[in-house]
Amino acid sequence: MPWHHVDGGFRNPPGSPVRGGERSEWWAFMWRGFTRRQPVELQDGHVLEPGAAKAALAAAADGDIVTWLGHAGFLLRLNGRWIALDPFLSEYASPIPPFGPKRFSPVALAAADLPPIDLLLLSHNHYDHLDRPTLERLPLAAEATLICPLQVAGYVDTGRFARVVELDWHQTSGGPDLSVTCLPAIHFSARTLWDRNRSLWGGFLLTTPGKRVYFSGDTAFGPVFQELGAGYGGVDLALLPIGAYEPRKLMQASHCTPEEAVEIGRLFRARRVLGMHWGVVRLTDEPPFEPPVRFRRAIGSAGLADDWGWVMAVGETRAIG
């Protein structure tokens, strides 16, 4: 049995950081998350106007592209295939709305604005990644495929998909035109009070004859990324989380900092890194617009070019060069 498999579930890779904090600190943190209602002032240009977002997507007629749907949600076109990653377009990331984290940035592209999806990738079962209302509205191609880590498909209405594939870490699905490899991440899973770590979490490496794109999913930083960079590095674009990192003692085992995201990008020898998992729903205590500031500062401190790191507007589309 692989090391990350345990009786009844899964665990993080060896050497991963462990969760800190006293029980009282966790209760206080969770109460803040469920009751936080302070308005967030959006920065200019953070969200594209829906008409502009739709026009930009329509104008990207050819080639490989990435569209940031917000948070950790993306639309990709790789080798002519439309791929959705962790699309979250709901008002709340919570099992019991109106309690829990509420969206503070409007949607730029609704599910109905997207093209028929050939491939849906889900990294794990948290509400801000596996968003059932969005998945129910997502337009699907006739032969649409769902790919997710082990035991995640049970949380999805799989009847809409022609093919469902669950992968363990380091397993690959697909062929030479487009393959998907599930890679380790440092995180956890839970959808209820009774299913913690019973389903696997992970990231994905997408490979076509012309491009390699790495999507980390939610992750903390640990020794496993040295191994992953050595084994899978050399990617055109890395989609990496830069938000949801404070209080550090509580988040160190599940979310990386912007500085650690830069290091993951370096270990993967990425040509470009796109910061995600910020700017839409407030999950933790850092100021909502602090992550991109620290991300850009870390890029400069590492001696990397400014355009090595992408900070996109919600709804923005860019070519993957």
Q: Tens of pLDDT along 283-312?
A: 999 999 999 999 999 999 999 999 999 999
Higher confidence at residue 11 or residue 96?
11
Query: How far is the C-alpha of 275 from the C-alpha of 295, rounded, in Å?
Result: 8
The answer to whether 58 and 75 have CB atoms below 8 angstroms apart is no
C-alpha distance from residue 223 to each of 186, 219, 232, 258, 314 (Å): 10, 12, 15, 17, 32
The mean predicted confidence, pLDDT, of the chain is: 96
Percent of the chain scoring above 90 in pLDDT: 93
The answer to whether 130 and 122 have CB atoms below 8 angstroms apart is yes
pLDDT at 173: 98
Query: How far is the C-alpha of 183 from the C-alpha of 200, rounded, in Å?
Result: 11
The answer to whether 75 and 69 have CB atoms below 8 angstroms apart is yes
pLDDT at 38: 80
Query: How far is the C-alpha of 155 from the C-alpha of 55, rounded, in Å?
Result: 33
pLDDT at 33: 80
Residues 203-261: pLDDT tens digits? 999 999 999 999 999 999 999 999 999 999 999 999 999 999 999 999 999 999 999 99
What are the tokens at 125?
């079962």
pLDDT at 175: 93
Tell me which residue has tokens 């469902």.
Answer: 164
Residue 34 clears pLDDT 80, i.e. is over it: no
Q: Indicate the Cα dihedral angle 167, 171, 174, 177, nearest 10°.
A: 140
The answer to whether 315 and 108 have CB atoms below 8 angstroms apart is yes
The answer to whether 169 and 227 have CB atoms below 8 angstroms apart is no
Residue 98 clears pLDDT 90, i.e. is over it: no
Query: How far is the C-alpha of 198 from the C-alpha of 28, rounded, in Å?
Result: 26
Residues 111-161: pLDDT tens digits? 999 999 999 999 999 999 999 999 999 999 999 999 999 999 999 999 999
Spatial CA neighbour of 118 closest among 152, 94, 141: 141
**257 φ, ψ to 5°?**
-85, 170
The answer to whether 36 and 46 have CB atoms below 8 angstroms apart is no
**Interstrand relation of 237-241 and 212-215 (parallel, antiparallel or unpaired):** parallel
Higher confidence at residue 57 or residue 30?
57
The answer to whether 288 and 249 have CB atoms below 8 angstroms apart is no
Confidence band for 266, pLDDT divided at 50, 70 and 90: very high
Q: DSSP letter at 21? A: -
Q: Count Cβ atoms below 10 Å from residue 200 Cβ, excluding itself.
A: 27
pLDDT at 316: 98
Query: How far is the C-alpha of 228 from the C-alpha of 248, rounded, in Å?
Result: 24
**For the residues 175-190, what does the mean pLDDT come to?**
97
Q: What is the DSSP string of 181-206?
A: EEE--S----SSTT-TTSS---EEEE
Q: DSSP letter at 42? A: P
Residues 36-83: pLDDT tens digits? 778 899 999 999 999 999 999 999 978 999 999 999 999 999 999 999
Query: How far is the C-alpha of 263 from the C-alpha of 145, rounded, in Å?
Result: 32
**Interstrand relation of 172-175 and 178-183 (parallel, antiparallel or unpaired):** antiparallel
Q: DSSP letter at 273? A: E
